[in-house]
Amino acid sequence: MGDGAAIAGLGMTELGKVYGRSPRRLAADAVRLAVADAGLALGDLDGLLVSHGLGGSPGIELADTLGLRDLRLLTHMNAFGATAGAMVSYAAMSVLSGAASTVACVFSDAPLKPRQSAGSAYQRDAPEWYGFGGMTAALGFRSVNAFYALAAQRHMARYGTTSEQLGAIAVSTREWAARNPLAQMRDPISLADHQASRWVAEPLHLLDCCLVSNGAVAVVVTGAARARDLARPPVHLWGWGQGHPGHRKERGSEFGLTTGAVSSGRSAMTMAGVTAADVDVCELYDCYTYTVLVSLEDYGFCAKGEGGAFAASGALGPGGTLPTNTGGGQLSGYYMWGMTPLSEAVVQARGDGGERQAVANDVILVSGNGGILDHHATLIVSPHERGTA
Amino acid sequence: MDIGVLRRDGRTDPFFDGTAAGRLVVRRCAACDRWLAPDAGGCPGCGDEDPGWAEASGAATLVTWTVTHGRPAGDGTVPPPAVLALVELAEGPWLHARLDAADPAALRGRLREGLPLTAVFVPTEQGEAHLLFRPEQGD
């Protein structure tokens, strides 16, 4: 064995209300941390993939900031919330093809400003609005919340999904966050707290919506054989896939009801040689509770329309049959777009979860979701080399 | 949430000329015999980046909806909620839209998939008229 690719290093800056560092500086810090975590030096990198959130891109100039020389792979990537999974898959393919040997993948964001609410960082406002894009905002679509609310409401109307079922996801995710020292929101919440939290965009309460964080996260991808000789246990990449359903805004659209998790999950699980029944832990993109619910259905952990009942069954929380978002996710942990689920998957695969470590971690599914359920990425990772679990 | 001041941007004249006259003007690709949303970037059938314009009936149905609630102000006051929606024009395209709701709480109880809607046009003192959708009488 040893012909696969693996994550050998994980670097995370301070996350949350971290001020005074630009996105490029945060990204540079995360890459340095990831390289050190792997037991490598910056000069060992021959590839760098860069991505960003709303706070401005570090740019491929990040390579210069880090003093990297003779890179064989360098680009900026953007598939919105699906970028982290996409970056890791391109890094793995580069390693497997020999195009590069050691690739850092980084995300950074700094949308939060001191003395400004988290919500306003993602809120549009203007004295007047222009054209069609402006018309939608002028009418009241001032943030992404309303668009996801439309999706969740459609699922509710079609399948009878309830706010309490969404709340079960908020509660189980917070239970995990309470066990994660890195999580931003660790005080336990009850279903009643979820129901009492203010409406943002019905059917979404405040506790259905994710956090906003500043910071950066990086991973280092290299060959499995090399990873075995490095400082930390390798996290093997068994499979990957993307799904971009291209729902059109017209009659017959499945918007809000199905996502790219269907096809990206199938691709990744086929490549990995597993089915949903083999998955021990899920780290799902949870910009909203609803995103988790629909992803669980689309991956085949339950039937279409039964995501609500599945979430309310207790399956997702500590002690449940499918530990999900074990670090508190984006809802309660930290919001580093697709790096939130990926970073926690690395922690779980290494067995570094401490109080929150899942008992079984042989097969971990990681999702990324971008746009309004428009773009999806899936990774299957494991502490074991493929075919040996 | 109040509706903001809306301006045309040079690419939207046929649409806003329509709303000013109480008509719903959307994109239509004659070559493909295909109706498109007014904000469509082009015709996905033939690739035409500037398909023509045509008057739609203004009849629509409700696909899905949300009632949005603004952030409470420092003094605890909350802006009035807005009922936002995806609507399906009778011709097929979907629009992100706002429903005409003097009383959002009363309207909320009537909302369902497929609810028949009609386009209405509300002139404003500043900027372009607002396109809203109103449930048909009796529904």
Examine residue B42 and state whether it is found in any structural domain, yes or no.
yes
Examine residue B49 and state whether it is found in any structural domain, yes or no.
yes
* pLDDT at residue A120 in the model: 73
**Strand, coil or helix: what is B1?**
coil
Name the pTM for this structure: 0.96
Examine residue B65 and state whether it is found in any structural domain, yes or no.
yes
Question: Would an 8 Å CB–CB cutoff place A345 in contact with chain B?
Answer: no
Query: Are A153 and B130 an interchain contact pair (Cβ–Cβ within 8 Å)?
Result: no
Q: What is the pLDDT of residues A364-373, one digit of tens each?
A: 999 999 999 9
* pLDDT at residue A125 in the model: 78
> Residue B108 sits in which domain range?
13-135
Q: What is the pLDDT of residues A170-209, one digit of tens each?
A: 999 999 999 999 999 999 999 999 999 999 999 999 999 9
In this prediction, residues A111-132 reach a mean pLDDT of 82
Residues of B with CB under 8 A from a CB of A: 1, 3-12, 15, 37-39, 44, 63-69, 71-72, 81-82, 84-86, 88, 92-98, 108, 112-113, 126-127, 130-131
* pLDDT at residue A389 in the model: 56
Q: How confident is the model at residue A388 (pLDDT cuts 50, 70, 90)?
A: low
Question: Measured between beta carbons, which residues in chain B are less than 8 angstroms from residue A249?
Answer: 37, 86, 93-95
The predicted complex's ipTM stands at 0.96
Structure tokens at A142: 């001032």
Residue B48 predicted with pLDDT over 80: yes
Q: Structural domains in chain A?
A: 5-112+213-223 (3.40.47.10), 143-211+237-389 (3.40.47.10)
A288 to chain B, closest Cα gap in Å: 15
Per the structure, the count of domains in chain B is 1
Examine residue B1 and state whether it is found in any structural domain, yes or no.
no
Examine residue B131 and state whether it is found in any structural domain, yes or no.
yes
- Candidate from B12, B96, B108 with C-beta closest to A136: B96
* pLDDT at residue B111 in the model: 96
Residue A2 predicted with pLDDT over 70: no
In this prediction, residues B34-62 reach a mean pLDDT of 95
Q: Which residue of chain A is at minimal alpha-carbon distance from B96?
A: A136
In this prediction, residues A152-157 reach a mean pLDDT of 98
Strands A102-109 and A47-52: parallel
Q: How confident is the model at residue A280 (pLDDT cuts 50, 70, 90)?
A: very high
Average pLDDT of chain B to the nearest whole number: 93
Question: Would an 8 Å CB–CB cutoff place A246 in contact with chain B?
Answer: no
Structure tokens at B37: 């949303």
- Candidate from B71, B94, B98 with C-beta closest to A139: B98
Q: How confident is the model at residue A1 (pLDDT cuts 50, 70, 90)?
A: very low
B17's enclosing H/E stretch is helix B13-20
Name the percent of chain B lying above pLDDT 70.
Answer: 99
